[in-house]
């Protein structure tokens, strides 16, 4: 007995995959949503996990719980090993899975560029375990700075962040606030003047994708918090203790947090002619993967090149969400025998926060910074967190931290050594 409804398989429960599966509620398709984790996480707040401002459960929510009342959506936690497009088949850690429509929504991963061979010496911020490792490492080093044996080593307290995009500046701001407000209380014996926070950006500006006003204000805010920002500075090497700078000077640090770039994370088996620069999958205006049938890609991993966006759309949550919803609509339209419509991105603006009452917001027609921007940032992020419980907990946590300046607990639940 064959199931009559077409089977839509979505790989990846990020912003794109989730928004797509949600649209399919009670539509005439069977949806299977596969992810290597059993939760969706709110990537834009990952830096808060690293600095202890939020706990993992505040930004992560079980995929199964999101789709509890969706009778035609099933969830599986599995690794997808490859796709065999000629057989409409996925090979996975839980066996072969066949599809009628395949959606690749696998997102992006850290791009180490020329630091790839020494990536194990770097910390990164792409997943919750990554972020918890940063947290453990930072607090282990604060303890080391009090040990007889390591207290005089400059690398123990110094911190380098490589990359001046949103992740880098948000992390730098949070660390600077921690240095100023929390560490002196919990580590009164420590001389925090030995803790230097350096941020290295290869380009001319912080937040290169935002407006000049936003870039300039972010720089001003970070310097005001005591972060040393180095623009036009491409770090050239790292031996685990000293970061080598282009002028051949060194910055001694144990802690190099790499936020310098990401690249697509496609599935093996996608035709190689569809894999383009940045490891992304080339799609047409309908998010259909070039050279395949019934295979689509959305979000960070997908790139539709045109005159307006010669390098594809930016890797942002709203792009993925809009593409997910649009593609789901298109598939339903297609099943009804009607023509699909091309995707168009509606840019609602971008924002970043540097610290308490310090944020920058670029709307299409209005750019502003400061306390009001921070309140807008806060409101948007809390409202975006998936699930009622998460919202309330995040709100309470943030309110408490606002009134006490005291949030990061810095529990070293699992030690981390590189």
3-state secondary structure of 402: helix
CB 279 within 8 Å of CB 271: no
CA quadruple 95, 99, 103, 107: dihedral, nearest 10:
10
| Shortest CB 149 distance to a second copy, Å | 5
Question: In the complex with a second copy, which residue's Cβ is closer, 94 or 375?
Answer: 94
**275-306 as b/e: b if 16+ CB within 10 A:** bbebbbbbbeebbbbbebebbbbbbbbbbbbe
Could you give the CA distance from residue 417 to residue 157 in angstroms, rounded to a whole number? 15
The pairing of beta strand 95-98 with beta strand 280-282: unpaired
| Shortest CB 52 distance to a second copy, Å | 9
Residues that bind a second copy (CB under 8 A): 37-39, 55-57, 60-62, 64-65, 68, 74, 76-78, 93-95, 128-129, 132, 139-140, 143, 146-150, 185-187, 189, 389, 396, 400, 409-414
- Looking up tokens 């639940």 gives 413
| Shortest CB 75 distance to a second copy, Å | 9
Question: In the complex with a second copy, which residue's Cβ is closer, 138 or 243?
Answer: 138
| Shortest CB 417 distance to a second copy, Å | 13
| Shortest CB 62 distance to a second copy, Å | 5
Question: In the complex with a second copy, which residue's Cβ is closer, 82 or 333?
Answer: 82
| Cα separations in angstroms, 306 against 35, 166, 190, 282, 417 | 30, 25, 55, 11, 45
Question: In the complex with a second copy, which residue's Cβ is closer, 91 or 228?
Answer: 91
Question: In the complex with a second copy, which residue's Cβ is closer, 112 or 187?
Answer: 187
User: Which residues are paired to 362 by β-bridges?
Assistant: 350, 367
Could you give the CA distance from residue 266 to residue 412 in angstroms, rounded to a whole number? 34
Question: In the complex with a second copy, which residue's Cβ is closer, 365 or 413?
Answer: 413
| Shortest CB 195 distance to a second copy, Å | 16
| Shortest CB 131 distance to a second copy, Å | 10
Could you give the CA distance from residue 283 to residue 296 in angstroms, rounded to a whole number? 7
Question: In the complex with a second copy, which residue's Cβ is closer, 50 or 218?
Answer: 50
């Amino acid at each position: 007995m064959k199931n009559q409804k077409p089977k839509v398989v979505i790989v990846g429960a990020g912003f794109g995959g989730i928004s797509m599966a949600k649209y399919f509620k009670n539509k005439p398709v069977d949806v299977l949503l596969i992810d290597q984790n059993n939760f969706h996480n709110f990537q834009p707040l990952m830096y808060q996990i690293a600095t202890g401002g939020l706990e993992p459960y505040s930004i992560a929510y079980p995929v199964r719980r999101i789709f509890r009342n969706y009778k035609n959506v099933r969830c599986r936690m599995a690794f997808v090993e490859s796709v065999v497009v000629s057989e409409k088949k996925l090979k996975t850690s839980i066996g072969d899975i066949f599809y009628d429509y395949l959606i690749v929504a696998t997102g992006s991963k850290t791009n180490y560029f020329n630091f790839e061979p020494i990536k194990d010496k770097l910390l990164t911020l792409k997943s919750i375990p990554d972020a918890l490792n940063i947290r453990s490492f930072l607090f282990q080093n604060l303890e080391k700075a009090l040990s007889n044996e390591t207290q005089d080593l400059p690398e123990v307290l110094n911190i380098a962040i490589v990359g001046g995009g949103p992740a880098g500046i948000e992390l730098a701001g949070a660390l600077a606030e921690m240095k100023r407000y929390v560490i002196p209380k919990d580590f009164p014996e420590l001389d925090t003047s030995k803790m230097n926070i350096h941020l290295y950006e290869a380009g001319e500006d912080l937040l290169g994708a935002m407006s000049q006003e936003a870039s300039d204000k972010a720089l001003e805010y970070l310097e005001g918090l005591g972060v040393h920002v180095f623009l036009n500075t491409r770090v050239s090497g790292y031996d685990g203790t000293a970061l080598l700078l282009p002028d051949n000077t060194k910055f001694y640090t144990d802690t190099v947090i790499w936020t310098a770039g990401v690249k697509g994370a496609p599935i093996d088996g996608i035709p190689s002619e569809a894999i383009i620069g940045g490891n992304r999958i080339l799609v047409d205006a309908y998010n259909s993967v070039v050279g395949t049938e019934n295979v689509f890609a959305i979000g960070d991993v997908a790139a539709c090149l045109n005159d307006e966006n010669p390098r594809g759309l930016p890797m942002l949550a709203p792009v993925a969400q809009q593409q997910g919803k649009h593609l789901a609509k298109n598939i339903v339209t297609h099943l009804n025998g009607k023509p699909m419509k091309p995707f168009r991105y509606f840019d609602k603006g971008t924002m970043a926060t540097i610290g308490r009452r310090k944020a920058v917001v670029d709307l299409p027609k209005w750019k502003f910074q400061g306390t009001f921007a921070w309140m807008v940032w806060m409101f948007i992020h809390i409202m975006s967190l998936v699930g009622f419980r998460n919202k309330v907990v995040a709100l309470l946590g943030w309110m408490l931290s606002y009134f006490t300046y005291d949030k990061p607990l810095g529990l070293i639940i699992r030690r981390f050594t590189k």
